[in-house]
A and B are shown apart, each in its own frame.
Chain A
Amino acid sequence: MQLIQLVIDGIASGCIYGLVALGFVLIYKATETINFAQGDILMLGAFVAYSLIGIMGMDYLTGFALTVLIIAAFGFFLDAVVIRQIIGQPAFATVMLTIGLGFIFRGFASIYWGTDIFSFSTPFSGKITEFNGLIISYVNLSIIGGTAILMSVLFLFFNFSKIGVAMRASSENQLAAYYMGIPVKFIFSLIWSISAGVAAVAGVLLAPITLVDTSISLIGLKAFAAAVLGGFGSIPGAIVGGIIIGIVEQLCGTYENYLFEGIREISAYLVLILTLIIYPRGLFSDKAEVKKV
């Protein structure tokens, strides 16, 4: 029973990793760049939600929706103004650029909102439900439910909407998409905005658990493990990878005494390195194998 309890907690935190990883995957699939600032965008989302809900006193759902819209618009302009300039530079330049942007966001957040730890009230805070002796908090339910809803919306969007199909086409082959009259640059900016919006959703859902401060941007680094495990480039892979990482982390934390002390904090990174060494293409990769030497 304890095991099932742990697995449920793991799934909830794993969904957050999965959502952040989803942001990486969307951008990587389309533009072959990795956004190291994904975790910082998540942090911005949590802070904007705190401003709207906690300070301005908005309704939770309105504030949630508005936050996602604001961050998505931010993501759009981030690509249109900054990221697009370095297309064609070596991968290293993109890595450094997004790391630099992450630092700017974090610095901005700690100047504008301060370095204290904030929280805002949600309809889920502090409520739990019991089911056959399992204790499930509403916050965890909201995370799992929110992820499921978001995934379904994205699935429908990518498969049945015109823009969604255009996005998939641009990811498959930029040049061919361009010849078909798809505005590839605009589509890429739109993908950045969706990815930022997904990060904002993760940030708002996560806020009741970790509270809001600048250190939650570190989640972005753990989410790399989820993305790599899922096979960088696969959307369901990102979520499954995230859930696996979440469960592994919970189990390592509980059975720490049998393994070695402090394994909880590094378990995600250990999984990441092991995946890269043993099976670098990841669980769900539909693409060709990662280039090897």
Chain B
Amino acid sequence: MRFIFKTKYSQDINIARHAGDKFWYSLLILVMAMMPLFLDDFYLGEISYICILSIAGIGLMILSGYTGLASLGHAAFLGIGAYTHAFLLTNGVPFLVSIPIVIAVSFLVGAVIGIPILRLTGMYLAIATLALGFIAEHVFIKWEHVTGGNRGMPVPQPEFMGISFYNSIFFYYVCLIFLIVSMFAAINILRSPTGRAFVAIRDSEIAAQSLGVNLGLYKALSFAVSGAFTGLAGALLAHYIGYLAPDIFNIFLSLTLLLLIVVGGMGSLHGTVFGAIFVGFLPQLIAICRDYLPSSIGSQPGLEPMLFGLILVFFILYEPLGIYGRWVKIKLFFELFPTYKSQTFKKQKVFTKSDRV
């Protein structure tokens, strides 16, 4: 068991809690940077996809995990990011200029959408974001001279310092660098007063308001920041897919993002990466399961949504803190061995909190 002896107040908001953190995370980054030496193109592509999912997960985690606002339409932001990026690249804007524009556009869209609908709470917000997701999908279909409608839209793969985005090693490094930068940005947002305000809103709106947090402003800001991260992920996703069609950004993608943060662990940035790994490998996992099942069940197209739902229900009921929560428990078990008590993380008995006045 490690006890951190704090001698300064500023230690509370350090990025790395202790020297061990610095060592392990540097090692992780080093290993990730060496990956192209060991892995072939297929696995590099998979890991790039996981990086993209993690960035989108960070976006949704800031909104749902840290500010406590559910969004069932986050695929809309992925779509906005992807289409904006593809549109700009088609019109000859260079990659490095396009990315900041994409982030700015998604940020603004998030703010503009956020201001009116964030007056709603709980269920109403979930329903409203669901509706926004559908409307966005239809806009992608109908706004043909920008998005190409149902025909789809090819994504130009520009050359960057002589290397094309088709090169999987190069694309892997692009995704990895964006993930690391986004992770640092998210950590810094969350340890700043803004991030603390988000968490305060999640834990108790009334308490936050009494301490001077402007609820409307910070909720809209959370929506905008979340949109910006997700839009960035969308731009990278556009390169990964290579050909945009409106039905990619449907409700199923929004729910996949939610699955990601729930399975990874609500309210932890580690959780986004765990969740992204899980969601990224889920199709492969299902493909492997299919081989072991009798062909009458294994070949069914309904198997994937069914497993998707089962996993979601299982995590909500039995492990609400997700994979990260399980990891924390296992770590504590070994740190305290043999005195670990299962009651440490026992769910407190709670009663329904009423929204009714």
Contact = CB atoms under 8 A, between A and B. Distances in A.
A269 B70 contact: no
Given A92-B68, A276-B124, A262 B316 contact: no
Given A107-B304, A108-B302, A293-B215, A92 B64 contact: yes
A276 B134 contact: no
B303 A107 contact: yes
Interface stretch (A9-17, A93-101, A148-156): A93-101
Given A97-B317, A103-B305, A107-B306, A290 B124 contact: yes
Contacts of B118: 293
B219 interface: yes
Nearest 5 A/B pairs, CB to CB? A107-B306, A103-B309, A110-B302, A100-B312, A88-B350
Contact of B352 (A87, A260, A273, A287): A87
Interface residues of A, number: 56
B313 A95 contact: no
Interface residues of B, number: 60
Interface of B: 64, 68, 70, 72, 116-124, 126-128, 130-132, 134-135, 138, 141-142, 205, 215-216, 219, 251, 255, 258, 262, 266, 297, 300-313, 316-317, 320, 349-357
Contacts of B122: 91
A103 B216 contact: no
A245 B13 CA distance: 51
B117 A277 contact: yes
Contacts of A99: 72, 255, 258, 309, 312
A106 B302 CA distance: 7
Best-buried of B64, B127, B266 by chain A (most CB within 10 Å): B127
A273 B303 contact: no
A85 interface: yes
B352 A104 contact: no
A83 to B, nearest CB: 10
Given A99-B255, A111-B303, A104 B309 contact: yes
A82 B313 contact: yes
A20 B236 CA distance: 39
B87 to A, nearest CB: 20
Contacts, number: 163
A86 B356 contact: no
Given A99-B255, A103-B309, A292-B119, 7 more contacts: A89-B316, A92-B68, A100-B316, A287-B356, A290-B121, A290-B124, A291-B357
A224 B120 CA distance: 15
Contacts of A95: 70, 72, 123, 126
A260 to B, nearest CB: 8
Contact of B120 (A103, A106, A290): A290
Contacts of A241: none
B141 A291 contact: no
Contacts of A97: 312-313, 316-317
Interface string A108-152: 111100010000000000000000000000000000000000000
Given A34-B123, A109-B302, A292-B119, A273 B312 contact: no
B271 to A, nearest CB: 14
A286 to B, nearest CB: 12
Nearest to A270: B135
Contacts of A280: 119-120, 124
A104 B313 contact: yes
Contacts of B141: 262
